[in-house]
Amino acid sequence: MSKRAKVALLIDTATTWGSGLIEGIAEYAHAHEDWQCFLGPRGKYDRSILPDNWDGDGVIARVTNQELADQLIAKRIPAVNVSWYRYGEGQIARCTCDEENIAELAANYFIDRGFRQFAYCPSTTRPNYVDRFGQAFIESLRRRTFPCHAFVPEPGIDNFFPTASELARMVEWLQLLPKPVGLLAFDSVQARQVTESCHLAKIDVPHEVAVLGGEHDLLSCTISSPQLSSIDHSPRQVGWAAAQLLSRLIAGEEAPREPIYVPATRVITRQSTDTVAVNDDLLALALDFIKQHSHRHIQVTDILREVPISRRALEKGFRKCLGRSPAQEIRRVRVDHAVQLLCDTSWAMPRIAVACGFERSELLTRAFRRELKTTPSEFRKQHRKDRQEQAAR
């Protein structure tokens, strides 16, 4: 019997990101390897170090401190870093989610909902972190000629409970932002701090400030009031890809020179961004009608029966505010709903089509191709639980 490889998982077990990574690693190991995985309960900000007497064969870790990076390099042990931190860059293989892809996804999400004013709130718990994610979001907007207001945390702050002065600064910053504004926060923990500050400032979320968490964490999202929208970083896909890479390293392959980046899956929409930014009351009524009735077989004529506006004014207003026609907005909302169902359920395509307002699956597929350049089946195959097929592609 061959010896089982010993693999240490230095990953937090307290967040959706960490638990998703571990699940993806386990799925790969069950399918392709006979690893003995070493894992203990760990918080996101716990300082992870290997025991000095560790004699295992490989490590998958969030390398978030120089000490761990130095230890892995000194031991010459096959290792994969699944963090955005770049300790050991060029000496430790890295496999993680794509910061620029996620930033672009966030920018497109807000722009598609009519926002033309933007803000970014970095993490206030990582004073020495180089925030390339926020930089990518601001740069993505700059390329489209949109400015982005950025909060500047107090130097030296490293606490989940903001000081009174820090909280007052954030409240003042939020009050001074142009409204309505699409605000991206570094992660769901930071986004929740933003929504709490909005409550103190008596700012309406989402109609004045729509808040999006840059990293999905189920607990932070659901205990927030209102519940938070957030970006799914595909942790299970990242975990699978990291485990596949470690398997190659243990087999003797050289580490890739460049990081392996896995694209984000989607934005999970909840109440904190459940709005479309338009200043015209009649257009807002039309958009609300679409949102409330998109599951039915509605057409533009149904909107005109409910909203006292001419077809020409409706078309012109949608083009000006959203850059698309009312019919295109109906399709966008339906496809967005279909994306959520494809990711969160195992429903068959005919059921999803009906739930999203399409009479037949073929019409859902046609709309999916127009909006996302793929089919619902391919989308599900790529982003759901079949990690084996994804890794083989």
Predicted local confidence at residue 190, as pLDDT:
92
We report the CATH number of the domain holding residue 304 as 1.10.10.60
Render pLDDT for 185-207 as a digit per residue (tens, 0 to 9): 999 999 999 999 999 999 999 99
Residues 218 and 288 in one domain: no
| 128 and 213 share one domain | yes
Residue 391 lies in a domain: no
pTM of the model: 0.82
Q: Where in the sequence is the domain holding 113, given as residue range(s)?
A: 99-233+268-273
Of 194 and 165, more confident: 194
Residue 388 lies inside a defined structural domain of this protein: no
149 and 109 in a common domain:
yes
Considering the domain architecture, whether residues 23 and 118 belong to the same structural domain is answered as: no
What share of the chain has pLDDT > 90, as a percent?
Answer: 60
Same domain for 113 and 134, yes or no, is yes
CATH code for position 249: 3.40.50.2300
Domain count, the chain: 3
250, 273, 296 - which closes a domain: 273
pLDDT at 160 over 80: no
Tens digit of each residue's pLDDT (9 = 90 or more) over 302-322: 999 999 999 999 999 888 888
pLDDT confidence tier of residue 279, bands split at 50, 70 and 90: confident
Residues 93 and 107 in one domain: no
What is the 3 state secondary structure string of the chain?
CCCCCEEEEECCCCCHHHHHHHHHHHHHHHHHCCCEEECCCCCCCCCCCCCCCCCCCEEEECCCCHHHHHHHHHHCCCEEECCCCCCCCCCCEEEEECHHHHHHHHHHHHHHCCCCCEEEECCCCCCCCCCHHHHHHHHHHHHCCCCEEECCCCCCCCCCCCCHHHHHHHHHHHHHCCCCEEEEECCHHHHHHHHHHHHHCCCCCCCCEEEEECCCCHHHHHHCCCCCEEEECCHHHHHHHHHHHHHHHHCCCCCCCCCEEECCCEEECCHHHCCCCCCCHHHHHHHHHHHHHCCCCCCHHHHHHHCCCCHHHHHHHHHHHHCCCHHHHHHHHHHHHHHHHHHHCCCCHHHHHHHCCCCCHHHHHHHHHHHHCCCHHHHHHHHCCCHHHHHHC
Is the model's pLDDT at 242 over the cut of 60? yes
Task: Confirm whether 13 is domain-assigned.
Answer: yes
For residues 94 and 391, the model is more confident at 94
